[in-house]
Amino acid sequence: MKTETRLPSDYNQFIEQIKSSQVQQVSIKPDRIEYTLKPEFGSQRYYTKPVGKIDDLLQLLHRHGVEFDTLPDSSATHASMIGFLLSTGVLVGAFAWLLKFANAGNGVGIGMGMGKSNARVYNQGKPGITFADVAGVDEAKQELQEVVDFLANGEKYRKVGAKIPKGVLLVGPPGTGKTLLAKAVAGEAGVPFLSMSGSEFVEVFVGVGASRVRDLFNRAKRQAPCIVFIDELDAIGKTRGNNPVGGNDEREQTLNQLLTEMDGFDGNEGVILIAATNRPEILDPALRRPGRFDRQVLVDRPDKSGRLEILRVHARSVALSQEVNLETIAAQTFGFAGADLANLVNEAALMAARNNRTVVLMTDFGEAIERVIAGLEKRSRVLTPLERQTVAYHEVGHALVGALMPGGSKVAKISIVPRGLGALGYTLQMPENDRFLLLEDELRGQLATLLGGRAAEEIVFHKVSTGASDDIQKATNLAERAITQYGMSDTLGPVAFANNNTQFLEGNSSRRVVSGEVTAEIDRLVKQNIDQAHDIAFEILRLNRNLLESATQVLLEKEVLEGDQLQTILTQVKAPAELNSWLMKGA
């Protein structure tokens, strides 16, 4: 076989020949490049050593239309075989390494260190929070101060034979300060604080959650006295036996290990478990019993005095004007949790900074309250004249009807400035005092107030708009609760036809299984209550038609009605003769 003779060439010369369109064909091998010139350039054959990236060379060949191919050689074959053998050896070694841990009985994930708890540890003096930083939950603080005394002066309890509680369960709505209270206990006691979330225990690997529970308690015992805090306990503490596919899933194994660990350590060892949840009703009964969580501490939304204390705590780092009255703000924020109040103070401070002021004014707090309740102002949302009129009549209708209704809430502001996601206007009612019960006449009054906007549209335009959709939804829910939960029905009586799914979280309740006749009667009574509330609202606005027109014109001119001007208008509202009888017994 005849061997072709090729002349050596410099790589740079090779590149120049390509660019000058002299090259006809190129063969690229791992260790050399062979090429042939076109016949008009002598058909000479050359070879050269590759320099730089092959990808750059291939792009150059493509651009100049040069034929090329890549040919394997024996050395490349040997290299591929060696690479294959090496990769196979690595895989076999890795498999043997994993098998070693799996045979140890801990599982693959645990053998790789996944069974270790990743609890955040705060040493003595950390996280730097004390009871002075917690306000508005005095009863809960008092309960937890005893826990601090257990850890600091445990000997005096042991002398009389008392056992330190093993666990304290903090329950309450979101944002009320459960996590903050747990950190304050650690800060006051001056002991290590190990913190984890319930969702951090469970992984896809079987046995990892249980292993992390064991590791967490082992670490706690080594650092005793200390506090272990598990946030969102319901992530692993749900009642067992609800697995739809049967068997024992990873979450249940984690819960079983937690129950075992809580039984396995003595309270006098100086380890106290504090857990927080806003869904105590779904926790496993074995987890809530004494001996595991000996104390359940309610951390509820604060009352007026509690809100005042919380505002004072958060206002310490804010430059307030002399005119700011925190008592007034506390009265206007009924239902706000601690996190809501912290956000309120911050929003007011941001408002002052946005307007280039060095102190926070009372107007900043008023705007912040509206921003939290109704959403951000959207003055860029331009309404047509008809839409603007409809919204104005609608909101004045709410205000005029609400001015006559009982309940201790007064209309404080009417606005037709769009806010939030879909509010084209709003009527702001402020409670004069904290109220924890809703009387029957007050409930009817709320229904009439909600339907006052729709009634105003009917009176003025003789047709209704979609603007009352949220009012109708709220009125329907309230009327249904009156029948199914509160027993405010003469025909059905004090019977509960609804189950509360949640205790602290917002959510719709579901009806119990009842007969078709009862369901039909509930629906009839709900509609009857709503119709009666609509009729009384319509009558109030018909009787005060002139006031409705004049107040709406002022609102259209100023966009906002509040203060003395609004109260002067509301004092002129006349009550129809049948109002009191309807409030007491219904029409």
Q: Sorting pLDDT into bands at 50, 70 and 90, what band is 86?
A: low
Any idea what the CATH number is for the domain that residue 331 is in? 1.10.8.60
Out of 346, 374, 402, pick the residue that ends a domain: 374
Amino acid 435: pLDDT: 78
> Does a structural domain hold residue 556?
yes
The phi, psi pair for 213, rounded to 5°, reads -65, -45
376-385 — which CB contacts under 8 Å span 24+ positions? 376/419, 376/420, 377/417, 377/418, 377/419, 378/417, 378/418, 378/419, 378/420, 379/417, 379/418, 381/418, 381/424, 383/418, 383/424
Out of 253, 277, 298, pick the residue that ends a domain: 298
Tell me: do 218 and 265 sit in the same domain: yes
Amino acid 348: pLDDT: 94
The phi, psi pair for 245, rounded to 5°, reads -95, 5
Out of 73, 95, 112, pick the residue that ends a domain: 73
Tell me: do 352 and 460 sit in the same domain: no
Tell me: do 185 and 264 sit in the same domain: yes
Q: Sorting pLDDT into bands at 50, 70 and 90, what band is 259?
A: confident
Distance separating alpha carbons of residues 91 and 457, to the nearest angstrom: 76
Q: Sorting pLDDT into bands at 50, 70 and 90, what band is 498?
A: confident
Tell me: do 456 and 507 sit in the same domain: yes
> Does a structural domain hold residue 392?
yes
| pLDDT above 70 (res 371) | yes
| pLDDT above 80 (res 113) | no
Summarize pLDDT for 279-312 with one digit per residue, the tens.
Answer: 888 888 888 888 888 888 999 889 889 999 999 9
Which contiguous run of DSSP H or E holds residue 173?
none
Number of structural domains in the chain:
4
Tell me: do 294 and 228 sit in the same domain: yes
> Does a structural domain hold residue 156?
yes
Weakest mean pLDDT among 63-67, 201-205, 361-365, 421-425: 201-205
Share of the chain above pLDDT 90, in %: 30
Tell me: do 359 and 293 sit in the same domain: no
Q: Sorting pLDDT into bands at 50, 70 and 90, what band is 391?
A: very high
Tell me: do 223 and 144 sit in the same domain: yes
Amino acid 93: pLDDT: 59
Distance separating alpha carbons of residues 162 and 160, to the nearest angstrom: 6
Burial-class residue 222 by CB neighbours within 10 Å (0-12, 13-18, 19+).
exposed
Report yes or no: 268 and 154 within 8 Å, Cβ to Cβ: yes
Weakest mean pLDDT among 122-131, 310-319, 343-352: 122-131
Burial 112-133, CB ≥16 within 10 A → b, else e: eebbebebeebeeeeeebebeb
> Does a structural domain hold residue 417?
yes
Average pLDDT on 473-491 reads: 91
Any idea what the CATH number is for the domain that residue 248 is in? 3.40.50.300
pTM of the entire predicted model: 0.70
Tell me: do 330 and 401 sit in the same domain: no
Positive or negative: CA dihedral 441, 443, 449, 454: negative
Amino acid 572: pLDDT: 95
Check 143, 188, 395, 539 and give the catalytic one: 395
Q: Is 323 a catalytic residue?
A: no
Helices (H) and strands (E) in the chain, counts: 21, 16
Tell me: do 348 and 215 sit in the same domain: no
Residue 49 belongs to what domain range? 7-73
Amino acid 332: pLDDT: 86
